[in-house]
Amino acid sequence: MCRWLPDGRALAHILRQGDRYGVYAHDLGAGGGRSLLAALEPEPDLQAGSFAISPDGSTLIVSFREEFHALMLAEGVAALGRAQR
């Protein structure tokens, strides 16, 4: 996922390297190049979701999510009844 920087001259994106994330800007002008805007070290189980940059470029917001997998057994649930064969 990419976001335009406020000046419209570069695109920003999140790149994961191991347990670390970085938000990088890619200059679209002549000469181009990539620069690190922010280095992020969230908890190991978190994954970057989305991000936003304020219109004046002074604030970067990154959302993280945690994947959780669980299996539960529900017994005696009257509404389910028994399967018919």
For the segment 6-46, what is each residue's pLDDT rounded down to a tens digit? 988 899 999 888 878 899 999 988 788 889 998 988 887 88
pLDDT in tens, 49-60: 889 999 998 999
Beta strands, E only, 1-85: 2-4, 10-17, 20-27, 33-40, 46-53, 60-66
Looking at residue 1, its pLDDT comes to: 82
Q: Where are the chain's structural domains?
A: 2-66
Residue 44: what pLDDT?
78
- pLDDT the model gives residue 47: 85
Give Cβ neighbours of residue 29 (< 8 Å, ≥ 6 apart).
9
How does residue 5 score in pLDDT terms, banded at 50, 70 and 90? very high
